[in-house]
Amino acid sequence: MSTADANASDLPPLPTPLQLYERLYTVRAFESIMEDESKAGRLPGTFHSSVGQEAVAVGVCANLTNADLVVSNHRGHGHFLAKGGDIYKIMAELFGREDGYSAGKGGTQHMAGTEVGFMGSNGITGGGIPVATGLAMALKRKKTNAVAVSFFGDGAANQGTFHESLNMAAIWKLPVIYVCENNGWGMSTPVETVSAGPSIAQRGAGYGILYVAVDGNDLDAMLDQVRAALNMVKSGETPVLIEARTWRVKGHSRSDQNLYRDKNVEQTWSDRDPVRLYRSRVLERRQASEAELTAIEARVDGVMRETLERCRKLPPPRPEITFEKIYATPPDPKAPDPSQTPLAEGTFETKAYWQAIQEALSEAMDRDPRYYIFGQDVCEYGGCFKVTRGMFEKYGRERIVNTPISEASIAGVCVGAGMGGVRPVGEFMFMDFILLAFDQLLNHAAKFHYIYNGQIKVPIVMRTPMGGYRGYGATHSQCLDAMLMKLPGIHVVTPWSPRDAKGLLASCLEAENPVVFVEHKALYGTNGPVPKQSEKIPLGKANIVRAGKDITLCANSYMVSLSLQAAEKLKADGIEAEVVDLRCLAPLDRDTVAQSAARTQALVLVEEGHLTGGWSAEIAASVQEMAFGYLDAPILRVAAADVPVPSAPELERAMLPSVEKIVAAAKKALENRG
């Protein structure tokens, strides 16, 4: 790739040499003064300096507009400043103050400034690469001429998300530039000892995208190559990978004293300091005088001192903001639940569970062109369990999108696309595979709205089937729903009936929060009444699907079916069991379960996941806290034994819940009444 490829008429004008120098010097001055504050113990947490890498940040961002979207990494202050971030708000965030971009919630590693197109720095190595890819997908789907840029380090180039994202970007020719700041070190590990191949840049060849290695300490070289890359990307030809070879002057973080590095090598790089190099070049070219450059330095230093004094005087953040902006659309406990109204004759149709899910998807897609389905084999094949059968023929390849087998980046691209203003509905073929995507779901989707203080929303729905009873074995039969509920910021929905499947999914699709919508393989073929008129069932409200007075059976998903069967067997023995369907694990309706247990004075919890650490333990603790005085028997649990799910049906039955095990637990609880 060469500078001759650039078409300047399609790009914003470059700043003047004086303006470019001011940007370089601003980044250097900010990083230097804040590192001093950090070492003095006046900043909370850690600090990752970008001193020595200023030319990369400025060289990229000087070519961008506010419409172009940047995703950064843990060493992101320089990127944010170069993109136009407010010095005071960045500094206040590093001090952990409410005036900061994230109100003190994000700190040094987690800041966003959406008004300038800075879509977040990220504390997970390689975590932002698929997010930027998703933002590029959103830009392309919205038919804008903007681009996404992903900044990451050489260590991130060895992450699977790097390769998955480049592959996806190449497949769909997404408008994204990947900028690898190869500063020579992955913390204390030399890059050449852990990175195979001739260069990180040449990894782009494997995906058929344009790539280039550039001197990252040479601002002019960076400006030229980024400008050429922008022209290529904006023309729709290809994504671009840029490896900017630079040097991290300071240690990895505040505690790193840099004792592991060769002093002679450090001196070589010091001689090529990007700020001094550009300053000398401006003087040599007579683009500015010594007096003009000195005046810029004095002005920037003055701004830094004034801003520092202002931030030092800021009061600590109010404790109450700790609990704000966890969700973009908070659950409403007073929202009416239409499913509590019996369906009148003629107002419903009997539908299969899978069909109810598809109807909710189709109604959203018919209403709003921003919705699309994104997953493995969802097109002609119709999805592994045929939920999207026929949808490809109706909506076409633009809205029913087959993906590579890349679960981490399926999730990450959905996160970025949702942030970018479109509405992806992702699909994981089996819930077992979601483990590969936990980083994107629980470190990114669940946290972004909170750690960026409400600036960013992640309105995505990720669908996946769970459960055993089919002989699929240990890696295709797990129920991991309880694992997802452990971290706040994401909804976990586990519908049992076709009516709930459609009504809950309709609510999920319209909310602004990330959702994992968990379907059970054993339920896809079941039938039930579904209203002819669309309805939205609010999240976080359990449903009493069978009234009873003697004992409460609380379950979710397919376990509701088993609990209802158990209740019928108990009835033959004169025991009236109440069955509560949780419907959602996050938000979790503790109140309904506690109230039911208080009425019946006995409780059995039924979950298909493993016994240890499951949602039933959480419910048991909650009911103990809320209704202990009403209980007349110990709370009992029926769950999968703590062994991997075996394949042979006889072995599977031995360790999974069953109707007989539920009946036995209920009778044991009643026998133990005080």
C-alpha to C-alpha distances, 68 to 22, 151, 175, 540, 576, nearest whole angstrom: 22, 13, 10, 37, 62
pLDDT at residue 7, rounded to an integer: 47
The four Cα atoms 467, 468, 474, 476 give a dihedral, to 10 degrees, of -60
Residues of the chain with pLDDT under 50: 1-9
pLDDT at residue 115, rounded to an integer: 97
Burial class (CB in 10 A: 0-12, 13-18, 19+), 41: exposed
Give me the count of residues in the chain: 674
CA distance 70 to 149: 5
pLDDT, tens only, 29-42: 999 999 999 999 99
Would you identify the CATH topology of the domain 3-316?
A: Rossmann fold (3.40.50)
Q: What is the largest CA-CA distance in the chain?
A: 98
Mention every residue, 6+ apart, whose C-beta is less than 8 A from residue 129.
Answer: 71, 150, 152, 156, 159, 161, 162, 165, 178, 412
Strand partners, 463: 427, 517
CA distance 49 to 31: 6
CA distance 518 to 432: 12
C-alpha to C-alpha distances, 364 to 354, 358, 412, 448, 645, nearest whole angstrom: 16, 10, 22, 25, 36
Sign of torsion, CA 218 219 221 226?
positive
Are 285 and 220 a contacting pair, CB within 8 Å? no
Helix axes 128-141, 160-172, angle to 10 degrees: 10
Sign of torsion, CA 54 59 62 67?
negative
The 10 Å Cβ neighbour count of residue 328 is: 18
Strands (E), 458-525: 461-466, 491-493, 515-520
pLDDT at residue 89, rounded to an integer: 97
CA distance 326 to 546: 34
Are 321 and 98 a contacting pair, CB within 8 Å? yes
> Which letter does DSSP use for residue 44 in this model?
S
Q: Which residues of 529-556 are buried (b: 16+ CB within 10 A; e: fewer)?
A: ebbeeeebbbbbbbbbbbebebbbbbbb
Are 636 and 611 a contacting pair, CB within 8 Å? no
Strand partners, 400: 373
CA distance 29 to 71: 22
Would you identify the CATH topology of the domain 338-531?
A: Rossmann fold (3.40.50)
CA distance 443 to 120: 13
In the chain, which segments carry CATH 3.40.50.920? 543-671
Pairing of strands 577-581, 543-546: antiparallel
The four Cα atoms 44, 48, 49, 54 give a dihedral, to 10 degrees, of -130
Structure tokens at 288: 């500015």
In the chain, which segments carry CATH 3.40.50.970? 3-316, 338-531
DSSP for 524-577, written as a single string: TT-EEEEESS---PPTT--EEEE--SSEEEEE-THHHHHHHHHHHHHHHTT--E
The closest alpha carbon to 620, from 600, 599, 597, 587, belongs to 597
Residue 161 identity (one-letter amino acid):
T
Mapping DSSP to helix (H, G, I), strand (E, B) and coil, where does residue 504 land?
A: helix
pLDDT, tens only, 249-293: 887 887 777 778 888 887 888 888 999 999 999 999 999 999 999
C-alpha to C-alpha distances, 397 to 377, 402, 666, nearest whole angstrom: 12, 8, 51
The number of helix segments (H) and strand segments (E) in the chain equals 22, 21
pLDDT at residue 404, rounded to an integer: 94
Structure tokens at 253: 């973080």
pLDDT at residue 505, rounded to an integer: 98
Would you identify the CATH topology of the domain 543-671?
A: Rossmann fold (3.40.50)
pLDDT at residue 5, rounded to an integer: 44
C-alpha to C-alpha distances, 85 to 80, 101, 152, nearest whole angstrom: 5, 9, 19
Active centre residues (catalytic): 407, 476
Structure tokens at 417: 């696309």
pLDDT at residue 4, rounded to an integer: 32
Strand partners, 348: 531
The closest alpha carbon to 162, from 134, 121, 196, 127, belongs to 127
C-alpha to C-alpha distances, 9 to 32, 227, 236, 333, 411, nearest whole angstrom: 37, 11, 16, 54, 36
CA angle at 463 for the pair 415 and 372, rounded to the nearest 5°:
60
CA distance 368 to 423: 9
